[in-house]
Amino acid sequence: MVSRVIPVDPFDLVIFGGTGDLARRKILPGLYRRFWAGQVPDGFRIIGAARTDQDSDVWRDFVREAITEFVTEAKREPETIDAFLAQLHYIPVDARGDSGWPELAEMMRGDVTQAFYFSVGPGLFGDLAERLQRFNISCEDCRIVVEKPFGRDLSSAKALNATLAEHFDEQQIYRIDHYLGKETVQNLMAVRFANVLFEPLWNAQYIDHVQITVAEEVGVGGRGGYYDKSGAMRDMVQNHLMQLLCLTAMEPPSRFGPDAVRDEKLKVIRALDPLGQGDIVRGQYTAASGEPSYLEDVENPDSRTESFIALKVHVANWRWNGTPFYLRTGKRMKARNSEIVVTFKEPPHSIFDADAGSRANVLSIRLQPDEGMDLRVTIKEPGPGGMRLVDVPLDMSFADALGPEAADVPDAYERLIMDVIRGNQTLFMRGDEVEAAWAWTDPIIAAWTERGDRPLPYAPGSSGPEDALILMHKDGRRWREIA
C-alpha cells in the first residue's frame, strides 16, 4: 500500500499541563508514535510547560516512562526514543502568574508553525490565552487546542468562547472531541459520501432507527468529585454522543472542509426536538462483589447525578421524520463497547414463505474496542431444505482488504494533533456548535433537576436500568447486546 500522508511543516508545540495525566497517557505517546511512523518533520520541537519546577532532563525521563507504558513494544526502539526526546524541552510556567512566560517567549521560533495545547483545567484557559497575548507569544497563525469539558452549561460555554475570542480568532481555536479523531468515525463519512450505495437509503423511508452506545466497564473511580458535578449527560452526551449523532444524521456537506462539515452538524443540533420525560432514563450503578456503588464512589449518599443515561431523540427534519435515534452511555456496564448501529427497514413485501424468516439489514460502526464496520445482509442459508434466510456479515475489515499496516491506525489524539499542525479544523468543534449542544441539553437537565428526579439503580455489569430496555421495547425495538 502506498502511504499518502499529507506533509507537515516544522512546528513548535507547547503543551501546557505537560506533566499531567492526559499528556502522559495520550498526547506524548501519540506524538511519539507519529514520530516513529516518520510523519513528524525535521525541526519539530515539543515544549512542556507546567507548574512543576524541573528541568528538561527530568521531563524527558517522565516522557520516556510514558512511552514505555503506553506505546507497544514493537515501536519502542531505543534510538528512535532518544531522537524524539532530544527534541523535547521543558519550561516551568505559572498560568496564574508571570513566571516562566518571558522564557517561553524567548524560546518560541517565529518562522515555524506554533501550536499551544491547553491540557489543563478549563479554569485556566482564559489565563493562558491572556498571557500568550500579553507576552507577545501568540501570532496571527498560532493555534490553540482546548480540552473538554467546554463549559457545564450554555452560559459557561458562552463565557469561555467569549474569553478565548478576546485573544484568538475562531480559525485559531481547536476544540478537541477525540471521538471525531477515530478512524471509523471518519470512515462513516467515507461510507456515506463516497459511495452511491448508502446515501439514497439514508433516510426515514429506509432506516428504521439508529442506536448509539458508548458503554464503559469502569466506574467513576478517582474522578468521583468531578464526575458528580457533571454526570453522563454533561460528560458524554453533550459532546461525544451528539457529535456521533450529527455525523450520522447530517446532510451531505458540499465538501470535506471545516466550515462545510460543521455547518451541517450545527443544523442537526438545531433540529433536535426537546425531550419529554418519557424519552429519558437515568441510572446509578449499585455496589457488587466488593466494588463500591456510585454513591460510595462519589462519597455523596444523596447524589442525584446519573452514571447512565438513555435517550430517545428525534431529528425534526424531512430526512429523519419518524426515525428515532436512541442514545445510551454509562459506567460500570457489561463491557467496554462503543458503536453506532443503523437498522434498516425490512423489505416492504416478502416473496418468501413466512417461515423463511426475514431480517433487516444492519450497518454497525464500531468505535471500540476494535474499530471496524460490519454490514449484515440476508442470504439463503446454504444447503438443501428449501429457502431459509439467514443474515451474514459483509465484513469491512481494513486489514483484510488493505494489508496489515492498514489495521495499525493512528490513535484519535495523534491524528487530531497532526491536524492542528496542518491547520485543518474539520474534525474539531466550532464555538457555535458547542453552544447549540448546550442549548439543547440545558432545559433537559433543568427539567429533571426541578422535578428532583432520582436516577434508577442498575447492577454493575448490566446494560443499565430495566427502564432503558423498556424505552425501546415499547416501540417494538431492542438494543443491541453490549458485548
Binding residues for NADP(+): 17-24, 51, 148
> Residue 208 or 228: which CB sits closer to ligand NAD?
228
Kind plus residue range of the DSSP H or E element containing 327:
strand 325-330
> Residue 120 or 310: which CB sits closer to ligand NAD?
120
> Residue 208 or 433: which CB sits closer to ligand NAD?
433
> Residue 18 or 410: which CB sits closer to ligand NAD?
18
Minimal distance, residue 126 CB to ligand NAD, in Å: 12
Contact 6, 410 (CB under 8 A): no
**Residue 54 CB partners (closer than 8 Å, separation 6+):** 19, 90, 92
Minimal distance, residue 16 CB to ligand NAD, in Å: 6
DSSP state of 108: -
Minimal distance, residue 92 CB to ligand NAD, in Å: 8
Binding-site residue set for substrate:
178, 182, 216, 235, 331
Residue by residue, DSSP assigns 39-90 as -S-TT-EEEEEESS---HHHHHHHHHHHHHHHS-GGG--HHHHHHHHTTEEE
Minimal distance, residue 150 CB to ligand NAD, in Å: 9
Which phi and psi (to 5°) does residue 111 adopt? -105, 15
The whole-angstrom separation of Cα 455 and Cα 233 is: 12
Contact 128, 116 (CB under 8 A): yes
Minimal distance, residue 57 CB to ligand NAD, in Å: 17
Binding-site residue set:
17-24, 51, 148, 178, 182, 216, 235, 331
> Residue 230 or 397: which CB sits closer to ligand NAD?
230
Which residue in the shown chain puts its C-beta closest to ligand NAD? 20
Minimal distance, residue 456 CB to ligand NAD, in Å: 27
- The amino acid at 392: V
Kind plus residue range of the DSSP H or E element containing 329:
strand 325-330
> Residue 122 or 253: which CB sits closer to ligand NAD?
122
Name the active-site residue from 240, 314, 349, 473.
240
DSSP state of 429: B
Grid coordinates of 370:
476494535
Residues found near ligand NAD in the complex (CB under 6 A): 17-23, 50-52, 93-96, 119-122, 124, 147-149
DSSP state of 371: -
Contact 286, 457 (CB under 8 A): yes
Minimal distance, residue 240 CB to ligand NAD, in Å: 10
Which phi and psi (to 5°) does residue 250 adopt? -70, 160
Using a 10 angstrom Cβ sphere, with 0-12 exposed, 13-18 middle and 19 or more buried, the burial of residue 329 is buried
Collapsing DSSP to helix, strand or coil, 428 comes out as coil
**Residue 399 CB partners (closer than 8 Å, separation 6+):** 406, 407
> Residue 147 or 306: which CB sits closer to ligand NAD?
147
The whole-angstrom separation of Cα 18 and Cα 250 is: 36
> Residue 28 or 85: which CB sits closer to ligand NAD?
28
Minimal distance, residue 239 CB to ligand NAD, in Å: 10
Catalytic site includes residue 349 = no
| 143-168: burial string, b at 16+ Cβ within 10 Å, e else | bbbbbbbbbbebeebbebbebbeebb
Residue by residue, DSSP assigns 6-42 as PP---EEEEEETTTSHHIIIIIHHHHHHHHHTT-S-T
Residues with a catalytic annotation lie at: 240
